[in-house]
Amino acid sequence: YTWPSPQLDALESFRYDQLGFNGHFVYNFIDPCTAASEGTPTGRSTAADWIRTAYHDMATHNVTAGTGGMDASIRFAEEQARPENVGDAFSNTLNQLLTQANRYMSIADVLSVAAIAAIENCGGPDIAFRGGRIDASEPNAPGVPQPQDDLPATVASFARQGFTQTEMIGLVACGHTFGGVQHSFFPNTVPAGPNNTDVVSHFDTTYVTFDNNIATEYISGTTQNPLVVGANDTTNSDGRIFGSDGNATMAAFAASADLYASTCADLIARMVDTVPDGVTLTEVITPLPVKPDQLVLSLTDDTLAVSGQVRFWNQTEEVPGIVVSFVDHAGEATNTTLAFKGLGSAKAGKYTSGWYAFGPIALDAVAGLASLKFDVGGVVEDQGGVGFAIADTVVFSTTSCAVASGGWRLDVAVRTSVNVTRLYMEQISTDSTNRVVVVETDIPAPAGPPVQPNAAYAIWSLALTDIADEFEAYDVAFEVDGGTKGFSPVVTWPGLGSFPPC
């Protein structure tokens, strides 16, 4: 995709800025892959929890009715309390991941990325990820298969979820390369240990690693999988599932680690892309080679100050001398050299990126800013000629201030050459079910002749009094010509708490 796209940029960032500079701290929960949630017994794995959570969220899907699927309904206590969702994987996972959702990335998107990352970062293949899931407002109908279900019921359950019998074998084998069964939740399947009850019986010998040992151990007859060789045959669901085609699928997986990996990459992608009717997913998110980020534009009198960061994908060390050009509306450029900030990484270090910063650079406000481009050792990076478009239509005005009697005045500078017909503040909040919601407040157009700090901009002001949290995040958006929605490129609007006195 072409930068900027607020939604795709946010999804790309969560997916590919994992550890290191500008990383998302939640990836520390699965680094290393042996990591387990605090307070859980030995032998548990957070990566496994994340994968199981995604499956149980999806497994309510009804392919005929078009209901259920990856919609984060697993976050509801009512769903977690069902016998089909016994265990602590779900509460552990949601405690870690719930707050990662933002206005462009639903909780279900976060759970999907998490399951994919758990597999990719712990030895698995690359998996295609799309965003755009919508979070359910209430629990879905029950429907997750359980170990005591007989084979016809299990096959029927997977068919309802949208998977054939062969795909059922694959999906279970792909999930059960991680983790195991806990005695405390499945005492009839996993007996207590001689000295304690904190026993986890693993599906294969490499329970924190994606590999085809789940199949090789099963085919060779050495498996200790508690859902294959458990003392209680009623709950040997993996045994019934794996054997349901005469072991053909499992034998093929055991014979070829590559076949197992490529099958799992397809099935896990399909699992997280299983969504209720009416949800349209984005394109597959791939890392942008060059990505501006964290932009702040602010206006003071005649000066437009611009600062930001840029990420270059696939850099393993600092590349000195990268130049950024700020191209104004007349096509004239102002250049400066980027400052190196650090390295980021994704997929347990398989990919690395270099982060740089610029600014604040003082530009002439009337000439404005239309786009950025970069020069990396003589190679021009401008998204194939289109540049990195920056809409300087709506920027923060440093005349914004805190009113002595309480409240704030948010001043927004609007470029007068653009027909802005609506300007509004968007405050980010959560509803009673933890979904991120955006509350819009119109910023009125100036009633009389506008305050004009220079020939190109007019100030629109919003008096704010009833803000619960002065550090709350907000954006400012606008409409042009009565409809078309525009986004300010300003990623981080200065917090109200930082406004100087009026």
All residues at 6 or more sequence positions from 52 whose CB lies less than 8 Å from its CB, including other chains: 87, 89, 90, 175, 179
- Smallest gap from residue 497 Cβ to ligand HEM (A): 41
With vertex at residue 238, the alpha carbon angle to CA 73 and CA 112, rounded to the nearest 5 degrees, is 30
116 binding ligand HEM? (CB under 6 A): no
- As a dihedral over the C-alpha atoms of residue 192, residue 195, residue 201, residue 205, rounded to 10 degrees, the angle is -160
175 binding ligand HEM? (CB under 6 A): yes
Nearer to ligand HEM, 73 or 488 (CB): 73
- Smallest gap from residue 37 Cβ to ligand HEM (A): 9
9 binding ligand HEM? (CB under 6 A): no
172 binding ligand HEM? (CB under 6 A): yes
| Strand-pair category, 351-364 with 303-313 | antiparallel
Instruction: Yes or no: say if 437 and 429 are a contact pair by the CB < 8 Å rule.
Output: yes
Q: Which of 182, 216, 315, 488 binds ligand HEM (CB under 6 A)?
A: 182
Nearer to ligand HEM, 182 or 216 (CB): 182
- Smallest gap from residue 303 Cβ to ligand HEM (A): 55
Q: Which of 85, 106, 237, 398 binds ligand HEM (CB under 6 A)?
A: 237
Listed ranges 171-179, 393-401, 403-411, 484-492: which one lies at the site for ligand HEM (CB under 6 A) = 171-179
Listed ranges 50-58, 131-139, 306-314, 451-459: which one lies at the site for ligand HEM (CB under 6 A) = 50-58
199 binding ligand HEM? (CB under 6 A): no
The dihedrals phi and psi of 360, each to the nearest 5 degrees, come to -65, 130
89 binding ligand HEM? (CB under 6 A): yes
180 binding ligand HEM? (CB under 6 A): yes
CA pair distance 186, 43, nearest whole angstrom: 15
- Smallest gap from residue 281 Cβ to ligand HEM (A): 19
Instruction: Yes or no: say if 351 and 323 are a contact pair by the CB < 8 Å rule.
Output: no
Cα 495 to chain centroid, rounded: 24
Nearer to ligand HEM, 33 or 297 (CB): 33
Q: Which of residues 137-156 bind ligand HEM (CB under 6 A)?
A: 145-147, 154
Q: Is the peptide bond before 360 cis (omega within 30 degrees of 0)?
A: yes
In DSSP notation, 130-195 reads B------SSPPPP----TTS-HHHHHHHHHHHT--HHHHHHHHHHHTTS-EEETTT-TTTSPPPSS
Residues at the interface with ligand HEM (CB under 6 A): 44-45, 48-49, 51-52, 55, 87, 89, 145-147, 154, 171-172, 174-176, 178-182, 185-186, 237, 241
